[in-house]
Amino acid sequence: MFSQVPHTIPTTAMASCLASSLFLKQLALLAVAIALPVASSSPALGCFDSILSFGDSLADTGNLLYLSSSEGDPTHSCFPPYGETYFHHPTGRYSDGRLVIDFVAQLLGLPFVAPYYWDDGGRSVADFGKGVNFAVAGATALDESFFEEWGVSDLQPNISLGYQLGLFKELLPSLCSTASDCNQFLANSLVLMGEIGGNDYNYLFFVGTDLEEIQGIVPLVIEEIASAITELIDLGAVTILVPGNFPIGCLPVYLTEFQVSDKEEYDPSTGCLNWLNEFSQYHNKHLQRKLDHLRELHPQANIIYVDYYHDALRFYQSPDEFGFDGAILRACCGGGGTYNYNPLVLCNSNSTVCDDPSSYISWDGLHFTEAAYRWVFKGMADGSFTVPKLDISCPSLSMNEPALTSSE
- Catalytic annotation on 180? no
- Smallest CA-to-CA distance from 308 within 277, 332, 338 is with 277
Strands 302-306 and 189-193, bridge-based pairing: unpaired
What single letter denotes the amino acid at residue 70?
S
Judging by beta carbons within 10 Å of its beta carbon (0-12, 13-18, 19+), is residue 369 exposed, middle or buried?
buried
- Catalytic annotation on 7? no
Q: Which of 21, 50, 57, 95 is catalytic?
A: 57
- Whole-angstrom CA distances from 197 to 123, 140, 160, 283, 392 are 30, 6, 10, 9, 24
Q: What is the dihedral of CA 95, 101, 107, 111, to 10 degrees?
A: -90
* DSSP assignments along 166-205, one per residue: HHHHHHHHHH-SSHHHHHHHHHTEEEEE-S-SHHHHHHHH
Q: Which of 367, 391, 393, 406 is catalytic?
A: 367
State CA 284 to chain mean position distance: 15
- Catalytic annotation on 364? yes
Q: Which of 364, 391, 393, 406 is catalytic?
A: 364
Residue 101 belongs to what H/E stretch? helix 100-107
Question: Do 272 and 360 form a contact (C-beta atoms < 8 A)?
Answer: no
Alpha-carbon distance of 274 to 270, in angstroms, equals 10
Residue 212 belongs to what H/E stretch? helix 211-235
Name the residues annotated as catalytic: 57, 364, 367
